[in-house]
Structure 1
């Protein structure tokens, strides 16, 4: 046979799957099933079947307006490959350096419409937040992305506050003011909740590999968001007592002063001394000021 090997064309079903993924990767915005079908000259039922299969495995995500975009499974794969190529540069190096400095997981969150998107996650020092991976989306409701909201206009702030339970709105209004005082948000949970978060993270990881459990995984993620803790007020942090800390988050600003993202570190510890709290705060605030690639 030697070098005279005929190229083998991919099967038509495989070509359709690859074409859909390539189209979504190249598109400037999410696409409807009909747009994808028309662009690829495929029947809408065929594209619907392809999207359903990809969505079940997390390779595409269907948004609330029924458009599609690349999903968390694709993003995780892309992030792993990107990290291999850019390990010593820009954003990945900065986030990895922060993770090593504080010895815990790190995540970068951006606001995308009515959702938050985890655009980068460093979890080789611990899971942050529990069960979350690159590409994961969650609703933009309190307390999600609080440090972004605190530095945004009323166009974002008012809908965010309105999404809270009526009895919690005053608490979240205080939180937005406290973030300006502290420069970040420090979240605390009791020791039992820390253990629960870790167990639920294992459940999320397991469900990520089960194509029929997407709905259950989304429910577990929602539960994680509900028990991730309450932000400390400045006076509560001003104590020499050890406190339980789940996450510390700080805003990332662009060169024009607009807030672009939220940087999160996840100690996930039941007892953190004052000196250690100060170190976490200083590290995440300093890192947020020099995050590359977002200016």
Structure 2
């Protein structure tokens, strides 16, 4: 049962069928069918007319309750709210689910503004695999073996840039997503890469590399340059300096390099406050 739930959570962005679950878990089809039926009766899964299976309302309500009592979310929330007040812009908190997966937990919006419309990989509750070039703030402080493995998942033409970018993110303390909204559909496809045929997976990765320039290097972020940022992400760490989450500001605008650096420093400070709060309240 646990394997089936884990599979549906992992493939939530793909909305799997029974056949997908059988293939991913290697559990016999009859057993998967019985488990899905039982979980659907409990409201933990939901079956649809197109034969796909999604997370059910009972599971989502339980997950939300768990988030509400989550010490990491408790640590991130006040830092997130202060960042939004300081920048007058939307921000969100993401957390690590396991070594290879993160999810967006919640958004925070300036007072008086409607909640942001979310789509693609940044939809709350959706599992996101740590695949290049996204989620650099979760990877930059990992050990060398983890960084190398992450970089090697990218097209070879992007690897030198990614290695330089990870070093730059570690140096300045935050990542910058500089691609435009027109490319978000391509990023969204990354969530399903593990279920694609190999040739198509490689083609999508190569297309992403062609469409976007990954992050900024120091020489590209001069004070007077006009630069654009979709998001700015800074890591939340635990008492062992492991990255367990991230505070992510969402400028969605162009500005001077000087202004972008200030925004990045403000985001990093919010993440540091969340890290200290998390550490102190776990003692």
Segments of structure 2 that go 5 or more residues without pairing to the other structure are 7-20, 23-30, 111-115
1:161 counterpart = 2:154: no
**TM-score, normalization: structure 2?**
0.63
Match of 1:59 among 52, 55, 58: 55
1:246 counterpart = 2:230: yes
Q: Please give the secondary structure, in 2, of the residue aligned with 1:276.
A: helix
Larger radius of gyration: 1
Q: For the Cα contact (< 8 Å) 1:99–1:122, is it kept in 2?
A: no
Q: For the Cα contact (< 8 Å) 2:237–2:245, is it kept in 1?
A: yes
Q: Would the alpha carbon gap of residues 85 and 109 (structure 1) be closer, same or farther in structure 2, given more than 3 Å must change? A: closer
Query: Which of structure 1's runs of 4+ aligned residues deviate more than 6 A?
Result: 222-225
Q: Please give the secondary structure, in 2, of the residue aligned with 1:138.
A: strand
Q: For the Cα contact (< 8 Å) 2:152–2:159, is it kept in 1?
A: yes
Deviations 1:105-151 (A, max 9, x none): 323232523x3221522153545785522221122211232122221
Distance in 1 (CA, whole Å) between partners of 2:174 and 2:94 is: 14
Q: For the Cα contact (< 8 Å) 1:228–1:246, is it kept in 2?
A: no
Q: For the Cα contact (< 8 Å) 1:109–1:262, is it kept in 2?
A: yes
Q: For the Cα contact (< 8 Å) 1:111–1:261, is it kept in 2?
A: no
1:175 counterpart = 2:165: yes
- Considering only aligned residues, what root-mean-square deviation do their CA atoms show, in Å? 4.4
Match of 2:37 among 27, 34, 49: 49
Deviations 1:185-238 (A, max 9, x none): 22212xxx33564xx59xx9xxxxxxxxx98xx99xx98994676201111112
Quote the offset at 1:167 in angstroms.
1.1
Distance in 2 (CA, whole Å) between partners of 1:153 and 1:242 is: 34
Segments of structure 1 that go 5 or more residues without pairing to the other structure are 1-19, 26-31, 34-42, 61-70, 205-213
Q: Would the alpha carbon gap of residues 177 and 81 (structure 1) be closer, same or farther in structure 2, given more than 3 Å must change? A: closer
Quote the offset at 1:177 in angstroms.
1.1
- Give the aligned partner of residue 109 of structure 1: 95
